[in-house]
Structure 1
């Protein structure tokens, strides 16, 4: 997955200095992402500048600290990769929603692995990246709540929180990372195992004590 595109559109600006400055920043951010996607978990300023076709001096004219560039690259990666989920059909059977969510997230998380490794490596030297990781975790949790709203809304508050915790762990990045990196499963086998496990956990979380029967 090559993450491209930028939130700031400078195409209509009349100030050539602003346009040039933004384009340089964009090229530096994209160069950082290119290196991350290639497996570099902590790109150096020299490597980034070389890929962007610029000098290290130019890099630091636009990003005072390398950690600022790391944060900008991470923010762009999140904004491009984690777009709003597809609309959820709440009337769709629970099993169908589980299968679809596993399929969607398996593809997304597999593409995201290089960025995740980068974030884990630099979060201490680039606190903004650590903050971004926390925000991303909250975002993924909120989307789980939407995906299973039909079942979660039937639970009392305490049971809902417990069920949402279970679902968040089941469908989170850490779950995929565990299968791919620790268990060393292939993407195909990891996806199959994830769906099998998820079905059991979701059914238990949403149809256990204190809950109403979930849609089958």
Structure 2
């Protein structure tokens, strides 16, 4: 019994440090540091540089932990039931929610997408996020719209993270302007 306590204590400390390192990495990426150095991460997490390398011998592990922290925070917001009952009001609510979630995801997902081609984990998670986006979109649409294949494809593209990223980064719109563009596109596509 006495032998398990130190191991459990070390494991708990390692888990806590792993979490702090992942959260530090997320904070740095949110602050605009696309590829933080081990020194920056260690300083921000309040751990030694060796701890960063010991706990994350590869970037894949760090991205897994970062992704888990991001999903833990944002998935409940993204998948929470919508309050509106009329389908057009539900689309409006979905737009507002996606704008908020995607804005928070923007620096993190942009950073991880830059490494996605090197990581099977990130590729698999990207597919899951893309499917979740489509599923939550089609859930708010009436059957008549869901049965129009091309319209669903246009809506899926319009309200995707990639479209949000383009509006915010390439077109340099503010979050409010980007959300207004989404509303205009919804109006055009849902006539």
TM bucket (normalised to shorter chain) is: 0.7 to 0.9
Distance in 2 between residues matched to 1:130 and 1:46, nearest whole Å: 27
Partner of 1:103: 96
Distance in 2 between residues matched to 1:57 and 1:125, nearest whole Å: 24
Distance in 1 between residues matched to 2:169 and 2:182, nearest whole Å: 14
**Partner residue of 1:175 out of 150, 160, 163:** 163
Bigger shift: residues 183-192 or 29-38: 183-192
- Deviant stretches of 4+, over 3 Å: 88-91, 159-163
The 1:90–1:35 alpha-carbon spacing in structure 2 relative to 1, beyond 3 Å, is: closer
Check the 8 A contact 1:99/1:195 in 2, yes or no: yes
**Partner residue of 2:117 out of 108, 111, 124:** 124
Count of residue pairs the alignment pairs up: 185
Which structure's residues are more often helix, by fraction?
Answer: 2
**Runs of 5+ in structure 1 lacking a partner?**
1-12, 204-216
**Partner residue of 1:18 out of 11, 19, 26:** 11
**Partner residue of 1:30 out of 4, 23, 29:** 23
The 1:26–1:91 alpha-carbon spacing in structure 2 relative to 1, beyond 3 Å, is: closer
Confirm or deny that 1:199 pairs with 2:187.
yes
Confirm or deny that 1:147 pairs with 2:135.
no
The 1:163–1:105 alpha-carbon spacing in structure 2 relative to 1, beyond 3 Å, is: same
**Runs of 5+ in structure 2 lacking a partner?**
none
- Displacement of 1:161: 4.0
Partner of 2:45: 52
- After superposition, the C-alpha distances for 1:6-62 in whole angstroms (9 at most, x for unaligned) are xxxxxxx96322221211111111111111111112222222122212222222222
